Structure 1
Amino acid sequence: MIPSCWSLVCSFLVVGVFCLCGSARQMEDANGNCTKFSPLVGYTAQLSMLQHQLRGQIEVLNDCSFRVTRFDMLAGKDVYWWGAKDENFQNMTDGFVISRTHLNRTFVNESMVVTLEDCTWDDFRVLGVWDVALEADYGHIVFPTSDTITAMTPTLAPAMSPHPALPPSSSEDKNARLFSVKNQPTMFDNCIVLSSIYRLRWTLNAETGTVDLGVEAAVPDTHYMAFGWAKPGSTSAFMLNADVVLAGFQNHTTPFVDDYYISKYGECTWDQDVPSGVCPDSAYSQNDNSSSNRTDLKFIHGQWQDGVAFMRYQKTLQSDSQFDIGINATSEMVAIWALGLMKQPDSLRPLYLPEKHTSFGHVSLNLSDTVDGCKGPLQAPNSDDLDLIVAEAGVPIVVSVGPATHYPNPPHPDEVIYLNEVEAPVLKVERGVQVTFSVQAGHEVAFYISESPLGGEPSENVTIFAGGSDAQGVPATPYPLVWKPDRFTPDEVYYHSYFQKKMGWKIQVVDGGLTDMYNSTVYLADQKVKLYWMITEAGISFAVRAVPKSGYVAIGFGESMVNTFAYVGWLEDDTCKVGTYWIDGRDSGSIHRTNESLTDVQCAQQNGMITFQFSRPLDPHCTGHQECRNVIDPSIPLKIVWAIGTHWSADHLTSSNMHSSKSSKYMSVHLTKGVAEPEQELRPVLAVHGFMMFLAWALLFPGGVLAARYLRHLKDDGWFQIHVYAQYSGIAIMLLGVLFAIAEKGEFHTGSLHVKLGLTSIFFACMQPINAFFRPKKAAPGERPSTARVVWLFVHRYTGGLALLVGFVTLWTGIVALRNEYAGDQMRGLGWALAGWLFCVATLTIYLEYRGFRHGQYGRESSFAKGDWIMANNEDDDSANLLRSNQPLSTAAGSGEVQLYPGKQMEVQLQTL
């Protein structure tokens, strides 16, 4: 039993090894060479042109590889060789990559051998060039089916299956397969360049006496392409009496060719029913009923793809029409060509007529020569803008569906999206401009905009910018869809149906106007740099544009370029760059590169003017680096300066990188309000207000107080006059200063601390003359002052002192208010000047108090002069001690005693000790 089990296991192993060997035998022989057992070996076909001006010829070499020759293609995004079961939409999109060779560049008449990877010829029937990212078919070939191959292959005698040890099929076996090249209408044997945008291709059919001509030009579908033959023997004016074929498009869609004869220069006209000018042969033949007056022209193929118009037609070499010129295929003849705008038919002239040509020329041509003068595909400038709709603010775009006839990204379903009755056009929108769609495509098409080029039901990681599964509508009840792209919208997005892939096409998002993209904009100081900004949830976005031409433009957050976080945009090797810096000095060595987290960085130069954009968080949320201190608080005005220069570099800055122009002052930008205020010079009227208040509160009022306190020894009541005049003068100047301030501001608000303290000090100051007016009568000599007199003296003295104190504080708050409004070094200088002045006044007062210049007690005046004490009872002496008014008026000096008597004055000379 056990031996039989082992025998069974060994049998399975042998069978498995045999199967593996058989599988390997399908691709390689015993020597590791690729076999040629596939019936497709030797099959040759030409690639169809669907996109990117694809041309090429494919030949199956063996079971593992194929050769591509004469390969032309414009560069794509993510392009590979592709295999599919069939060429319908579903099978093509379900295909697979058959070789990992990238085809992302432009190919110019090249050849290559491509090896199949992880597949065989039996796995697919369609071989093409495919853009994986866009699921776009650039062109392909379709292999014949097994039945077709059997019919094409001659019947051979039965033979056993080839053994792996046998050599591969011989060249005679390959030649026995009757495979002819499957020609594409875009492929020719010869090609010459007529102009930079116009080419002629041809294939001579000597057996049939015809020539296939192909004209292609990078022109819009409203233009014509003309090519023909000059009258033999012409040495000048080659277009006169020439036979030309005119090719173009009817209604931008249907290609056509027509034979024309040029009887004279000028548009086709009729004179007594006789045509003349550039007219079609049919117009001339209307006057001649002979059978010889017919055109020998056959239209074969026409297309307008990638902005390049192409027509293929066949023309007989010899014609019996009097309006056709016989072509000698073996000798050199003069051919003429022209490009221009096609005039559409109207009710008077139901013909397509060429208007004045935009370019023309002639060339000597021998059709029997082999010419390969066209290097690479013809590329049209701005080919994406050819089928273009530009969205306008307030104008709705009608979304509908229709048959797919010229869908720009094959393969495609039977119906695609139309915008304003145009089949799948490119839609151009501007950032910041609102776009309105009127969705009327039915309930089977839900309109939406996303970053996916394929459409259909989006995956979770696909961003939908507008629309969705509910954006459905019909003409009776359209669905209004509003979308406003911003500066964070990618440059290229797509519109599609939510329920079906590849029904829509591209949307170009352009930076139309910075004012549309940003919420706020201001000119910085001196009107040379414009700033745009917008606050978002993620942070803040800025755009900076230099109005004059420059090599770089920079802005800095600060009052000057010193101690500033700077952002610089410059041009280097035709590439715009943006850098961040910390500047702590005035030379190039003080500019330090930082690593701020900037996003959405863009830079451009137009007409010599640089514009750069960036986004950044309001708070960097980092520590340990200089740029971590660069926090923006939108509620606080941001002070910004600018500079422009001729040259900047990321590293190794020198004095040559210094600015050629800079802002004369900073601008305070209120980010939330969307406005800006320049650094303000101190307004003259406010300066007068401040000076007058300083004169009143720091000079006159303190001077009057000091006079009453320390100048009582002056004769003739001099101290009293100084005191009164100083106080009244101060009050007058103070009130005048208040009027100046109100007139300059144009309003009167009491919200600030400075105004509140100012009103308080004015109240106390104005109380002094009112208090003086109600002064009680002075007591007679020898009598005690009345209570009213004592109270008045107390109120007068201490309210005056309080007024002086509040006045000093008001002066200080005024300078602080100016500093907050103007924020300049001069404001800090004023603060120090006031502090110095108050310090001097305080020092003088302390000095005088220390030296004894103060009022004598009990009504006595004392003066220290020339070593003598002089005591007198002045009539206006209000210096008596208010708190001790009930004490006797007597004073002792040394051992002597002085008694004051009413109506008498006594002078005592004291000897100095």
Structure 2
Amino acid sequence: MTDDQYVAFGLSPTSGKPEMLNSDIVVAYYDKDDGSFHAVDYSVTARSQCDGTYGMCPDERVNGRNDASVIGGERRNGVTSITFSRPYETNDQLDMPISRYSDPITVIAAIGHLNTRKEANYHDDFVTKSNVVLDFTSSEGNSCSTLVGGGQETPRYLPWPANIIPRGTTNFTATIGPTGGERGYSALTRLADSPSWGLAWWINDLLIPEIYVERGQTYYFTVYGGNDHLNSARYHPLYITSSPEGGFRQKTVDEQNREQVFAGVSYSKMGMPEPTAVGDMCEWRHTAMDAWEDSLTFEEYKDTLYKKCDGDLAGSLVWTVETETPDLVYYQCYSHRNFGWKIHVVDSGRKERQEGNNRGSTLLPTPLLASLLLATTRLLR
């Protein structure tokens, strides 16, 4: 695993079948910031990152206890080895008991990315598919082979060019969909340290496009992110924010106060925040397996998906861009981090010159652009 990844290992809730949902796992990772190794007790109640109630959550965040502890760790030649322990019986309601006298138990494993909280997003790199069992009653010695490293590196893939919605578009439709693996969200946002976790915003049927808006203009977002606030995997209100990672609902009051919200959140008389752009859910889904590795272009990838909508009652977000709005803001998910991407804010009457799909744009005031064109014409004469 890479520096920003974790490995999860634990017990499937179903005998004879590897299932991540409702499983009991330990997440282990290497913290590159201080060189430490960690093992954290997790429970999985939804196929999403933790929102403080549901998702892939550390037990301590959902009124449980961390019963895992690190014995030792090593990172050498590209291989991370972490040894940890967990009691057979923890008396924690979030943990599955491991009886020393039971039949072999189906185990599961996964690899995914850590978010900025150093918590595990739902797996996006590897997960066990076949039935693997361990006999926890065995008293025989350790028969696991030791990895020596130096093997083949994880293949890297060329990212798809960034999708762009240019200035002039005032109506947007927001749905959710897959992130496109190492060619999509992760590659496009890597400089922003924004790991994907399996789902992302699709705006006007494009995966996390960069949007250009104009100060003084009004923009209309039709939002199909789901309205089941009791199920975080189906609750993705859209909001516009200064935060490159979003997830307003997960943040402390101090963190919320430091974040600038431009649209999509209102406050009750008691001062409690509520998302406003909440509607039925439309989702891009895979027709078969996730085909991002074999899709050389975004268009090829999109052809492997289909859109499923649970209803046609959409949420609505209306945003008039104020004069003092910063040059760069973000459309994000109220419930989850790392879901959306950039909105470029420009002044009225300025021209855009695209510098290629992945290199952003250079903005020239109209009078300066006219002067440059006039000077060029004179030189050519």
The question of a shared fold, defined as TM-score above 0.5 by the shorter chain, is answered with: no
Structure 1-normalised TM-score?
0.16
Query: Which structure is richer in relative contact order (CA contacts within 8 A, separation 6 or more)?
Result: 2
Structure 2-normalised TM-score?
0.36
Work out which of the two has the higher radius of gyration on C-alpha atoms and give 1 or 2. 1
